[in-house]
Amino acid sequence: MSTSEQTENTDPQPETGPPSVREEVPAAKAHAEKRAEEEKGKDTKTSSGRGWMHRTAEIPLLVLLAFVIAVIIKTFLVQAFYIPSGSMFPTLHIGDRVLVEKVSDLWNEPGRGDIVVFERDVFIDPRTEGNDSLLDDVRSFFRELLGLPTGRTEDFIKRIVAVGGDKIRYAGSPRRLSVNGESIEEPFINQGRDPGSPTLTSEDCKRLEMQRAGNGCRVPAGTVFVMGDNRGNSEDSRIIGPIDEDKIVGHAFIIIWPPGDMGTI
């Protein structure tokens, strides 16, 4: 065999195997990539749907948590109260909302000059007592939370002028407050003086269930004697008697509404 013949026989041989297989490889790869993209899209949609459902399911839990926090704050720390009358004018005006803190009363005894909120039970018809629904209870809670009256108790706000054991007298023209025989200056009362509101003398002790002490009355232990700054328009201890300390809700310390009256008390 000649050299030229050998050279011709060494030419590259054509690839063998079914042409259809070689042609289908790129198509199969593209199909697989497309399927992968579709599955990824499904996973993303599923994950997004589950995330939305998860966030929606959290809303009731967050509302419950906020409610529990509000209950704790209202019960143990701070509560808002609405001023419905002018009995504390000019210190407080009708429509003012004040914050009452309850923490200091846990360690400190009520003191003279403190402005406090206390509760008095209102008359409830025995025929309707106990008929409140769950909705009524919830409504009452939120009214208390906003400092509005509930109809079950009356909240009064007054100034403590004497504490348990003090001898108190309120008389004269104009009226003068005397505690333990000492005349007390009261620049905060309406118009700076009281020309003629109800008095408190030894003649009133029996009516108010207080012990007589000279020309005045002795404040019972465990109670406080309160009066409004607007002496001529105040239903206070001169009428309802001393207030049990355990009826005190807390100490008013700041006006939060309206903006024009905002400030410490």
Q: Please give the C-alpha separations between residue 127 and each of 120, 122, 131, in angstroms, as whole numbers.
A: 21, 15, 9
Give the domain ranges of the chain.
79-123+134-264
Given a cut of 80, is residue 161 above it in pLDDT?
Answer: yes
For 25-36, b/e burial (b = at least 16 CB within 10 A) is eeeeeeeeeeee
**DSSP β-ladder status, 216-218 and 223-227:** unpaired
CB 178 within 8 A of CB 168: yes
Q: Which entry of 4, 47, 74, 158 is annotated as an active-site residue?
A: 158
139 vs 137: CA distance, rounded Å? 5
Q: What is the pLDDT of residue 88?
A: 97
Q: How confident is the model at residue 77 (pLDDT cuts 50, 70, 90)?
A: confident
Active site includes 158? yes
Active site residue 87: yes
Q: Which position has the higher pLDDT, 244 or 72?
A: 244
Give residue 2's pLDDT: 44
Confidence of residue 109 (pLDDT cuts 50, 70, 90): confident
Q: Which of 87, 178, 234, 237 is catalytic?
A: 87
Are the C-beta atoms of 120 and 236 separated by less than 8 Å? Answer: no
- Summarize pLDDT for 208-217 with one digit per residue, the tens: 999 999 999 9
C-alpha closest to that of 179 among 199, 194, 163, 203:
163
Looking at CATH, the fold of the domain delimited by 79-123+134-264 is given as Umud Fragment, subunit A (2.10.109)
pLDDT of residue 63: 77
Task: Output the pTM of the full model.
Answer: 0.69
